[in-house]
Amino acid sequence: MMRLLRKINWGVALVWGLLFVAMSSSFAFAVEKLPPEKAYLNDVYKNMMDVNNLHYDVAIKSETPMGEVEVAINGEVQEKPLSYKHDINICYRDVKNTENTLMLKQYIEQNQGNLVLYSLSNEKWIKQIVPIDPSLNKELSADEKVSARMDMLQLMKSVKLKKETPSYKYMEITLDSMQISDAMGAVVKLDNTQDRDMLRAVAVVRLGLLAAGDIKYNVKVDKATKMVKEIDMDLAEPIRKGAGLFLDIADPKERAKIEDFLTKSTLNMQITYSKYNQVDPIEIPQDVRDNAKEVKPAGKATPKKSESAAMTSL
């Protein structure tokens, strides 16, 4: 999957809401042939790729027959040196309205060929060192930036202007799940991946994408700066459709319960970006460095490449 990350810098990954960082393709086409709304997004992404740091707020809410879950992530990221810091608040309320809250804090920094994660859990700091390919933070040339933007735009089946005010454009983007699935398969083939667990995981994700169908999300763009302000996604329907593929092989006794649970559940995510190129340098407190106990990342003791672990820590 590293081939994908070499083509998309961290700024563009944030534009995609930290959801589609591993979704790219080798297609390219001329900017002048783009439909008007895609051409507008091309200008937006061009501006986003020049961002060096920013603040982000992520709000995730799910309502299910078993209760409600709300997740709030507030953080900042900088490109050089590649660093993140964020606070995570998870609140769960069951059907009796009993509330449980979990608060986490995390710092992440790139140190040569590794990503170093400091996480506060149960009032104790732990440290994890995850190997990554240094090219993840490689500065892209002008041609590479154009190619990355075209790759992203190619995955969009359509871009519609839903609403416009004097200050903002509200656009609906439909991603082509078939192209995303094909792109993932092509990358695995090019990387000549031999890891069976990885191949199985990719195969399941590709099947799920195809079953889910095209994925839609909304983007709010500041017209004055041509920068993304918000991304909103309703994830319930794609998950229902994707899960439907696997319900066919589920125990018939459990299928109805699962279908009922999915039908009555909702899942929404909103990401807000601010303080473009205005964030103070991210520094990890010395007491965190001194007191963190190092532990091995979950899974294999010596992972070969863990770009996925780096992103899922967000």
First to last CA, the chain: 18
Q: Which domain holds residue 158?
A: 2-312
How many alpha carbons lie under 13 Å from residue 145 in its C-beta half-sphere?
18
What is residue 194's predicted lDDT score, i.e. its pLDDT? 63
CA distance 222 to 212: 30
Examine residue 81 and say whether the peptide bond preceding it is cis (omega within 30 degrees of 0). Answer: yes
CATH code, 11: 2.50.20.20
Residue 218: the pLDDT is 94
> Which is more confident, 55 or 9?
55
pLDDT, tens digit, 9 for 90 and up, residues 256-296: 888 888 889 999 999 999 999 999 999 999 999 999 999 98
Q: Domain total for the chain? A: 1
The answer to whether residues 46 and 149 touch, using CB atoms and an 8 Å cutoff, is yes
The band of 297, judged by pLDDT with boundaries at 50, 70 and 90, is low
pLDDT at 10 over 80: no
Instruction: Yes or no: say if 42 and 78 are a contact pair by the CB < 8 Å rule.
Output: no
pTM exceeding 0.95? no
- Identify the pLDDT of residue 118: 96
pLDDT number for residue 191: 60
- Which tens digit of pLDDT belongs to each residue from 43-99? 898 888 888 999 999 999 999 999 999 999 999 999 888 899 999 999 999 988 899
Rounded CA-CA distance 22/270 in Å is 20
Percent of the chain past pLDDT 90, that is, above it, reads 40
At 121-156, the pLDDT tens digits run 888 999 999 887 655 566 677 777 777 777 777 788
> What is the tens place of the pLDDT at every residue in 179-236?
887 877 776 666 666 667 777 777 777 777 777 788 899 999 999 999 999 999 998 8
pLDDT tens digits, 147-159:
777 777 778 888 9
pLDDT of residue 311: 34
Are 173 and 217 in contact by the 8 Å Cβ rule? The answer is: yes
Q: Is the pLDDT of residue 305 over 60?
A: no
With vertex at residue 196, the alpha carbon angle to CA 176 and CA 136, rounded to the nearest 5 degrees, is: 60
What pLDDT was estimated at residue 285? Answer: 95
Helical segments of the chain, H only: 2-7, 10-15, 36-48, 142-154, 177-191, 196-212, 236-247, 252-263, 286-291, 307-312
pLDDT at residue 134, as a whole number: 58
Q: Which helix (H) or strand (E) holds 232?
A: strand 227-234
